[in-house]
Structure 1
Amino acid sequence: MRKFLTLVFLIGSTITAYSQKKEFNQWSLEASYGFNKPMSPLTPGYLSPTLNLGHTDFGARYMFNEYIGVKGDFGFGTFREAKDVSPEFTTKYLRANVQGIFNFGRMLNFQTFTRRLNVLAHLGAGFGRLDFKEASLPQGGLDYQYNIISGFTGQFKITSKVALTGDISMIYNGRQTYTFDGNIYNAPFPITTPNSNPFVHAPGTWWTGTLGLQFYLGGNEEHADWYIAADKYATKEELATQVNGIKDMLKDSDGDGVPDYLDKEPNTPAGARVNSAGVTMDSDGDGTPDHMDNCPFLPGPASTNGCPVEEVVEQLDFFKKAINDGYVNVYYTFDSSKPLGYSTSAASYVSNFMKKNPGVSVEIKGYADELGPEDYNMKLSERRAKAVYDLLIASGVDASRLSYKGYGEDTSVDKSSADARQMARRASFEVK
């Protein structure tokens, strides 16, 4: 018996070690108690009760998945005579088996109409022993057999850790030497010589019916008996609701490149320059937003469309100074060479400036923050400059008037500040 239990433990340990982590518990311990019934063979005149109380089962089970598992278990009890209608006999028995488990409830989709009732089927083989306490044969003593066991186990889920069970099993003994009462040899023909062993070992058949409990082990929410993979997925209706919610969040009502859920000014006029929060920019702080300001980087009254009353330099110089001083930039997210939507208006600004001033050439300068390897950042800064170069050419600026170069990391900002690093991830311009 100890060897059998050790074998079951080793098999279970090996399976556990090599199995992948599951979303359900796989181990359970089982105990049950109930009736037995030896069917045949019995000595003529000997009878057993239809339901003889006195059978006990213990087992440990491991499920590979929701449908198939393995169980090691043993059962013991006593066969007795039917009172007042049979001679007395007492036979103690023991059986030990390894069985395959089949989750019929999941195979038959019980979950479509119940989440608390289930049925398992089991089939396996092992060995057994009969111990005849009142045998009349001279040899008497013990009788060992191999056996085949099969049956069905009904389950009622009490909690996620405990289930009530009801089991009916049939056990087929092979090479059983004696009858279940132990008073004659078990042979498929009459024995003419009394107490003579014919050395013919016929089978024996008996039944058990028990009620018990299963205790589920593990830290997951459900055991494989009750786990339903579909439960972890959202329904089509739930997915549709979530997708629609995301679509609503990503709406950009004013078309400024900043989605509504981040936009602090969701009604920005068309063509207005905005910052990362979607707020209209007024670079010179004169009260006239950039998209309405003819001199967006020099303060001036609204009466002169945001330009100074006395212009001491040509308009070309205003624009050139604003561009060269770094007021006009295209920004990027971390490790990206795709311009942020709200900042592409800077490229449009430079494009319009160059179209109005055909004698002007511009160099596009790419930069990166100080995070990451220096060589990688140099290449990233060049890709950023090239992306703006492509935008300007697509807007109609002749390529001969443009050049681009990556300058690598901008070390002039505080690299410990997330806001400063965002300012470093940019493409700037220099008017030649």
Structure 2
Amino acid sequence: MKKKFLLIALIGFASVWAYGQDSSDFSAKFDKWSIDGGIGLTKPWQNFTPGYYAATPDFLVGEIGVRYMMSEYFGLKLDFGYNKFQEADESMAFETNSYRFGLQGVLNLGRMMNFETWTKTLGLLGHGGVGVGYLNYDRTNIDNDWVGNVLTGLTAQIRLSDGLALNLDGSAVANIRQNEGFDGGIGNTKDLGMVFNGTIGLSIYLGKNKTHADWYLRDDEKYKVLDSKIAGLDKRVTDLEDGKANKSDLDNTKGDVDAIAKDVDALKNVEPTSYDEFVKQLVNDGYINVYFDFNSTKVQGASANSVNFMKAYLAKNTGASVEVQGYADELGSDDYNQKLSQKRADAVVKLLTEAGIDGSRLSAVGKGEDTSVDKSSAQARQLARRVTFMVK
């Protein structure tokens, strides 16, 4: 019996710690910087002088940029692009060099669309932004036709290693207020030039963490944390020595650990909306406890984590209410212990309301003595002096 209560206390601590990783205190660890570059084919379109046109596709386009991901979903990129346009076989001769500098926003569409549910090696980025550039026309010796530009595109990714990814990018660039055609002549007077680029290149990830934001899976990291805690608890149960425990007690305790492990495994196969239900089940099954010293209504310092856990849960689940249930050990009279258990429940409610939880969502109930523990055992009586929670 003593082992079982000790296990409950340990699982309570592990649950608090693991759930904290789900809260705003969770610190995701991934690399944020990368250098992205590529080379490929280009096609200028729409703005040409009659008799001039470029090959389909033309060569070449080169791009390089520095990207910073603020999260695994969004980032910014500073980039430079170069295009060289030349005549097709039937066109009159021309050669134009185009240079572009821009700032783009980047969306990790692969994470947003949950690619991780079917692949860990393929990704998809969306990007778009604005910039400035100029065109240099060799045919007419017109230098520096400055233009503004707007760019958008998609990048398919293939993960080669933790530090490297292969990129296949398709982009469209609109040159605004392009005074000349792409050939350097009068063009078609539309002052808007369109360029389509297709490149193959690499992302080189920078940093000391194992994973870059492009591939970071926040939920997988949380599962690893919880799994490691389960493994640690399993080992503790195996190593615990208690002369009063019998084989039945040990089998029951082992079963509790196995049941929690199965719950964790099952959680990996459900949608994120079920996480809170899983946590609610842990709470209602008695794995989250607040402990008190003998004849005291002051929360033990080590139990502050359990109070913080409930505060985080209630702050996240604003529609939930909780019955705070107080208990006392069997020493002393029934009437005294009933009052003591009520005071303990009241004390925890007071802490939660002072932490910002609306008191209307909390109710305090004194349950009196906990008679399920060994009255003669000081360790068991310590586990009886507690407050538990029932989420409604």
Query: TM-score normalized by structure 1?
Result: 0.49
Cα 1:160–1:80 shift into 2, 3 Å: same
Change (3 A) 1:239 1:205: same
* 1:120 correspondence with 2:122: no
Q: Does 2:161 match 1:172?
A: no
Q: Does 1:52 align with 2:58?
A: yes
Aligned partner letter, 1:132: Y
Structure-2 residue corresponding to 1:203? 192
CA RMSD of aligned residues (A): 3.2
Matched, 1:89 2:68: no
- 4+ residue runs of structure 1 moved beyond 6 angstroms? none
What SS does structure 1 have at the residue aligned with 2:111? helix
SS of structure 1 residue aligned to 2:161:
coil
Task: State how many pairs are aligned.
Answer: 233
Matched, 1:261 2:240: yes
Ranked by relative contact order (alpha carbons within 8 Å, sequence separation 6 or more), the top structure is: 2
Letter in 2 for 1:261: L
2:150 to 148, 151, 157: 148
Match of 1:77 in 2: 83
Q: How many angstroms does 1:69 deviate by?
A: 0.7
2:383 — aligned with what? none
Deviation string, structure 1 residues 186-222 (Cα, Å, up to 9, x no partner): 514xxxxxxxxxxxxx211111110000001111111
Structure 1 residues not aligned, in runs of 5+: 1-19, 189-201, 250-259, 268-335, 340-389, 396-432
For 2:219 and 2:148, locate their aligned partners in 1 and report how far apart those are by CA, in whole Å: 42
Structure 2: runs of 5 or more not aligned? 1-25, 247-291, 296-328, 335-392
Do 1:176 and 1:186's aligned partners in 2 also have CA atoms closer than 8 Å? no
8 Å contact kept, 2:53–2:183 = no
Give the C-alpha shift of residue 263 in structure 1.
2.5
Displacement of 1:148 after TM fit? 0.2
CA distance in 2 between counterparts of 1:117 and 1:158 reads 10
SS in 1 for 2:92: coil
Whichever of the two has the greater Rg, that structure is 1
Deviation string 1:238-278 (CA, Å, 9 cap, x unpaired) is: 599659837955xxxxxxxxxx81335756xxxxxxxxxxx
Cα drift, residue 140 of structure 1: 2.4
Higher relative helix content:
2
Tell me which protein shows more strand as a share of its residues. Answer: 2
SS at match of 1:86: coil
Corresponding letter in the other structure for 2:234: G
Q: Is the alpha carbon distance of 1:262 and 1:247 closer, same or farther for their aligned partners in structure 2, counting shifts above 3 Å?
A: closer
Change (3 A) 1:393 1:203: closer
Counterpart Cα distance in 1 of 2:185 and 2:47? 11
2:320 is matched with: none
| 1:104 and 2:109 correspond | yes
How far 1:66 moved relative to its partner? 1.0
Counterpart amino acid of residue 193 in structure 2? G
Q: Find the aligned partners of 2:209 and 2:186 in 1 and give their Cα distance.
A: 54
String of CA shifts for 1:161-202, please: whole Å, max 9, x gaps.
0000010110001111000000215514xxxxxxxxxxxxx2
Which position in structure 1 is the counterpart of 2:69?
Answer: 63
CA–CA distance in structure 1, aligned partners of residues 93 and 147 of structure 2: 23
1:212 corresponds to which of 201, 224, 230: 201
**Distance between the aligned counterparts of 1:70 and 1:115, measured in 2?**
23
Q: How far 1:234 sits from its partner (Å)? A: 2.6
CA contact 1:177–1:186 (8 Å) conserved in 2: no
Aligned to 1:411: none
Q: Percent identity, please.
A: 36
Q: Which residue of 1 aligns with 2:347?
A: none
Question: Structure 1 263/49 Cα, relative in aligned 2: closer, same or farther at 3 Å?
Answer: same
Distance 1:393 1:104, change over 3 A: closer
Question: Which residue identity lines up with residue 31 of structure 1 in the other structure?
Answer: G
1:64: how far off?
Answer: 1.0
Within 5 Å, give how 1:221-236 maps onto structure 2: 221-234=210-223
Q: Is the 8 A contact 1:67 1:103 kept in 2?
A: yes
Partner of 2:234: 245
Quote the Cα distance in structure 2 between the aligned partners of 1:203 and 1:41: 7
Once residues 111 and 230 of structure 1 are traced to their aligned partners in structure 2, the CA distance between those partners, rounded to angstroms, is 10
Quote the residue 2:15 is aligned against.
Answer: none
In the TM superposition, residue 132 of structure 1 has moved relative to its aligned partner by 0.5
1:392–1:66 CA distance, 2 compared to 1 (3 A)? closer
Distance in 2 between residues matched to 1:34 and 1:82, nearest whole Å: 17
CA contact 2:158–2:166 (8 Å) conserved in 1? yes
* Change in CA separation of 1:244 and 1:79 when aligned onto 2, cut-off 3 Å: same
- Kindly tell me: are residues 103 and 391 of structure 1, through their superposed partners in 2, closer, same or farther at Cα, counting changes over 3 Å? closer
Distance 2:104 2:163 in 1: 22
Question: Given residue 170 of structure 2, which amino acid in structure 1 is its aligned partner?
Answer: I
Deviation at 1:55, TM superposition (A): 1.1
TM-score using structure 2 length:
0.54
